[in-house]
A and B are shown apart, each in its own frame.
Chain A
Amino acid sequence: MSTVADVLAGADAAPVDLTGRSGTRALRDGLARVLMWTAFAVAVVPLVWILWTVAAEGGRLLIHSTWWTNSQVGVTARRVGGGATHAIQGTLLQAGVTALISVPIGVLTAVYLVEYGRGRVARLVSFMVGILTGVPSIVAGLFIYAVFMTTFGMQRAAIFVCLALTLLMIPTIVRSTEEMLKLVPNDLREASYALGVPKWKTISAVVLPTAFSGIVTGILLGLARIMGETAPLLILGPYTKAITANLFGGNMATLPTMINQDRDQAVTMPAYDRVWAAALTLILLILVLNLLGRVIGPRSKV
């Protein structure tokens, strides 16, 4: 075994070739490369497969203009026609209201945790957010059901779906916003303080704007996550075929419940095609949100 020092010391020793690679190393390198690419392929195959199947089965209906303009009123499992407007509108509306409730709570909680929170209370809040992250969506749905339907005897309505989804969205927003706020360099805060700016103004005029696009990205990704959520909808938001915008009473259609309504139809039924089309529509909606997140992301000043 000759070290580099030996080689340098003994000039008459045989020169060691430092440029070439040993066989075993090349082999290991190749093996790792193959493993990596296989893992990549294994991860991507189901994704492409799902996308391909959904697009192939559901794409046909999406090119009809009625799909985007009509509801399913008067259309039954055996009849062709109708659209998904009622479900698209319901999904967007519920997602919007959910965001309206959870964004202020989530962002302000994150501000508290990063800028103010010290000691036991902050640790408790952080711990609770962690627990909330792990709550399965069905539990969130059942919780709202138990509180409002069982205990208070209220009727099911879209607003309760929004409340259940809020429980799921808040922790994602808190976590992503927290990360974004931590990325804001302390120099900025200190510079602001040095100029005599109070803390609240520093946060609202320096810290939050700096992290803004990152926060928006986090919110959009959180939205995309809850839009595909099904379990609370099955419990709290029964399906209807009509277009409704009433959040506080009656049924409201959403894309997941539209899929669920007809998912056990026979393959020969027109409704079967609509289930695939609704699935594709949902994927597209979420894709658009994700893309929006990607577009805004790089504009981050952090």
Chain B
Amino acid sequence: MKITQSACIAAVAALGAVALAGCGSDNNTTSSTSSTSGTTSSAGSSSSSGSDTGTAAADCPSGTLNAEGSSAQKNAFEEVVAAYNEKCPDLTVNYNPSGSGTGVKQFNAGLVDFAGSDSALKTEEKDGVIEVDAAKKRCGSDAWNLPMVVGPISVAYNLPGVDKVVLTPALLSGIFQGEITTWNDAKIAAANPGVTLPGTAIKPFFRSDESGTTDNFTKYLKAAGGDAWKADPGKVWTGKGEGKEKSSGVADAVKSTEGGVTYVEWSYAKDNGLSMAQIDNGSGAVELTADSVGKFIAAAQADGQGNDLRLKLDYATKEAGAYPIGLVTYEIVCSKNSDAAKQAAIKSFLGFFAQGDTQKSLEDLGYAPLPADLQTKVAAAVAALS
């Protein structure tokens, strides 16, 4: 009889745990102010104002959207989903930041509703697959690349007492290839007249994992630095320095190492309070701001047909006041979808994402809003989804 007793205890405990969990609540609207330690974040207040601009709840779809892809846009995506749900609480939007390549693969396999990718669908064959064709086959229509999130890449450094450093593509190539080893090197000093640079050794940090940030940064070095950068651009780092995992890893390393320097998404440099170098592409030093990055994106050429808004970024741009290192995350969607309800939900959510107000709110998070011109085009493309 003892046996049945202990069986009962185990069963009751297991059932009880599940039953208890079943009482949970998805409603966090009030709890964010009342329940927690009292630190209300600035993003929290800015997003609540977003609900004022919300339109009638009548065009709110319900259901679930699953998206997967680039980790660069994860924070922006999450904030937008939260702001969207204040307007339309019935649509659940999940984002799985597993990386651009995985996102595109899952999209083409029909496992997610749309993908987020730091590069547009590839038109050449890679690993036996032409991404554009695979996407077309999955959708039964063209897939569109919609630029949605602009992520500037900062060159963050740690030099106490030095709050302004100007670097050129050639200097960056030298630093990240181990040719320039001290901060007061004559070449750096020449680009920084009037700045007292210490003789601290330069300690470059790079991303040890495969990363779209590395890809874009090396693309920039290759395009803007001319022959200075030897290796081919790619997701795997080929320069010198010490590897750290993920953006948080390199940001932490620079924060704790005097003389450290790295390339990292703007948001991470901001959140860690790191100093950021100004970049001189040949037409003067440019500070990293939402505006200066916007100019860089606005200078990009359209590379697609009609509503397929793939961009060709001009890293070597000489446009005055344009900050030339950044990446654009595209949302990759089917232009026509046989599931009308799904497409309506995608349209509603991405339409909200592409709104001017939403884009503007991303600036607090370390992203740059889409330039006005491009933003109108993206909004029009979203409206044309059917």
Contacts and interface: CB of A to CB of B under 8 A. Distances in A.
A7 B301 CA distance: 105
A273 B91 CA distance: 27
Nearest to A155: B111
Interface stretch (B22-30, B121-129, B233-241, B331-339): B22-30
Given A76-B75, A216-B7, A81 B31 contact: yes
B35 A79 contact: no
A301 B3 CA distance: 9
Contacts of A268: 271-272
Interface stretch (A26-34, A36-44, A61-69): A61-69
B18 A82 contact: no
B321 to A, nearest CB: 28
Contact of B27 (A64, A73, A241): A73
Interface in A72-112: 72-83, 85-86, 88-89, 92-93, 96
A111 B24 CA distance: 40
A79 B111 contact: no
A125 interface: no
A79 B94 contact: no
Contact of A270 (B35, B41, B75, B86): B41
Contacts of A93: 18, 21
A276 to B, nearest CB: 14
B82 A71 contact: no
B26 A76 contact: no
A213 interface: yes
Given A73-B85, A209-B3, A238-B66, A96 B94 contact: no
A81 B13 CA distance: 28
A292 interface: yes
Interface stretch (B171-179, B246-254, B280-288): B246-254
Interface residues of B, number: 60
A76 B39 CA distance: 14
Given A149-B111, A209-B3, A213-B3, A80 B28 contact: no
B73 to A, nearest CB: 12
**Contact residues of A: prevailing secondary structure:** loop
Contacts of B21: 85, 88-89, 92-93
Q: In the complex, which range does the number of interface residues on chain A fall in?
A: 35 or more
A86 B29 CA distance: 16
A192 interface: no
Given A76-B75, A81-B32, A96-B18, A264 B248 contact: yes
B96 A77 contact: no
B271 to A, nearest CB: 4
Contact of B271 (A60, A243, A269): A269
Contacts, number: 161
Interface string B74-106: 110011011001100000101011100000000
Nearest to A270: B41
B92 A240 contact: yes
Contact of A89 (B18, B74, B85, B246): B18
B94 A238 contact: yes
A117 interface: no
Given A93-B18, A216-B6, A268-B271, A238 B24 contact: no
A172 interface: no
A84 to B, nearest CB: 9
Nearest to A81: B32
Contact of B79 (A66, A76, A239, A270): A76
A301 B6 CA distance: 12
B36 interface: yes
Given A74-B82, A250-B64, A266-B251, A153 B110 contact: yes
Contacts of B111: 149, 155-156
A212 B6 CA distance: 9
B87 to A, nearest CB: 12
A291 B133 CA distance: 55
A209 B82 CA distance: 53
A122 interface: no
B109 interface: yes
Contacts of A296: 6, 9-10
Contact of B24 (A60, A150, A209, A243): A243
A8 to B, nearest CB: 57
A127 to B, nearest CB: 32
Interface string B139-166: 0000000000000000000000000000
B94 A241 contact: yes
Nearest to B92: A242
Contact of B43 (A66, A79, A156, A250): A79
Nearest to A150: B109
A299 B18 CA distance: 26
B6 A69 contact: no
Nearest to B97: A261
A53 interface: no
A239 B74 CA distance: 13
Contacts of A71: 24-26, 28
Contacts of B78: 76-77
Interface in B31-85: 31-32, 35-37, 39-41, 43-44, 64, 66, 68, 71, 74-75, 78-79, 81-82, 85
Query: Lowest 4 CB-CB distances: which A-B pairs, in order?
Result: A85-B24, A89-B21, A81-B32, A264-B246
Given A79-B44, A216-B6, A234-B98, 7 more contacts: A73-B28, A73-B85, A89-B22, A92-B17, A156-B111, A238-B68, A266-B248
Interface of A: 60, 64-66, 68-83, 85-86, 88-89, 92-93, 96, 149-150, 153, 155-156, 209, 212-213, 216, 220, 234, 238-243, 245, 250-251, 261, 264-270, 292, 296, 299, 301
23 contacts: A70-B35, A72-B28, A73-B27, A74-B85, A75-B82, A77-B78, A78-B41, A78-B44, A78-B79, A79-B32, A80-B37, A82-B28, A83-B24, A85-B25, A89-B18, A89-B21, A216-B10, A241-B94, A243-B25, A245-B22, A251-B94, A251-B96, A269-B271
